Copies of this chain bind each other. A is one copy, B any other.
């Protein structure tokens, strides 16, 4: 069987499974999810043994220590996968939700209701726990999943999927076994082959670094929902409460710098720059943050009494496009809201951007004019997250304009259809 035949078979099976999945009641889906969670815990030894094969091979082929750490399945991570599945089981079912209802003058009743998307391909990197997390969210939302993790985790991912499928099939005889499938080859060409099958695959969600996501978006014929990177901004307006602003900026940058909703660039309104920046820099210097400052911010910071203790350099233009995911921050002094909004439109990634101000009109203008997935007023950018948004769980974050935008939970894994209920209406 050629690669494309193999992928076609996989995708066709997923499509068939998705039709059966769409018929399962919420109770039956939840019964499967709970059985899956139990089975992961019951098979911990088997999982660790299977994972050890990947770890050995990874060590032999020279994977870095952090890569090996990400690849590892230990008791805590296995328990984490099981807990995730139980949490998903406890969430409301997102399918069949009435979004809108209208009765036309001719008596035709139109109901817009949520339906599963169908077949979802998830392309991700080394963490095998994504296999269970993504499969659980897709299953609960009635979607068949085709999972493709890192090649270094293939054995672990296949084992997890087998445990999930076997557990669900034992719990529910009509469970469609092809609802959860792992691409059974590490061949890199499997991805473009799979993502050419628009007749069977409805959506692709890549998760990982910008390189992976760009490669997937470039080759896919299937719709892709994604975010490339998170170049997030906080704008400290001239009418900001500077105490609040300092706390928000510290939180947005330093609470967890490695994530996509962390701040990369601080924009400070000129009238408050001299009052705000030195004190903030002192707090950030304690966290060993490096500053990449524009000319004006650089001049303010280098004039500060503590300047000798700052890791301070001049920002290059490219820095403002960069997601550091690290203790590095760009700082730019801007001349009011308009310049801040223009900066964000030019350099940002439409992920999460915040304004700190006491002035409601200024805030409303920022909220209206910044076109990002999440726009905040007097809040840290770090809140862009399915859990923080009350979605219960999250499969990813989208900065796209077609389909879901922002954190994606169960509802964001659905589409909709229109039901038209009549009494013999004819078009004239």
A interface list, Cβ under 8 A from B: 19, 22-23, 96, 102, 104, 108, 110, 115, 117-118, 198, 202-203, 217-218, 221, 223, 225, 241, 244, 247-248, 251, 255-256, 345, 354, 363, 367-369, 371-380, 382-384, 388-390, 400-403, 405-406, 415-428
In the bound assembly, the distance between CA atoms of A96 and B110 in angstroms comes to: 24
A62 to chain B, nearest CB (A): 35
In the complex formed, the residue of B with least CB distance to A111 is B367
B-side contacts of A372, CB under 8 Å = 417
Q: Is the CB of B221 within 8 A of A218?
A: yes
B-side contacts of A390, CB under 8 Å = 102, 104, 110
Q: Is the CB of A424 within 8 A of B202?
A: no
Write 19 A-B pairs (CB below 8 A) sorted by A numbering. A19-B369, A22-B369, A104-B389, A108-B379, A117-B402, A255-B428, A373-B418, A374-B419, A375-B417, A376-B421, A376-B422, A377-B421, A378-B423, A378-B424, A379-B421, A379-B424, A380-B425, A380-B427, A405-B417
In the bound assembly, the distance between CA atoms of A424 and B380 in angstroms comes to: 7
B-side contacts of A218, CB under 8 Å = 221
In the complex formed, the residue of B with least CB distance to A356 is B424
Q: Is the CB of B110 within 8 A of A424?
A: no
Q: Is the CB of A420 within 8 A of B379?
A: yes
Q: Is the CB of A401 within 8 A of B415?
A: yes
Q: Is the CB of A425 within 8 A of B383?
A: yes
In the complex formed, the residue of B with least CB distance to A421 is B377
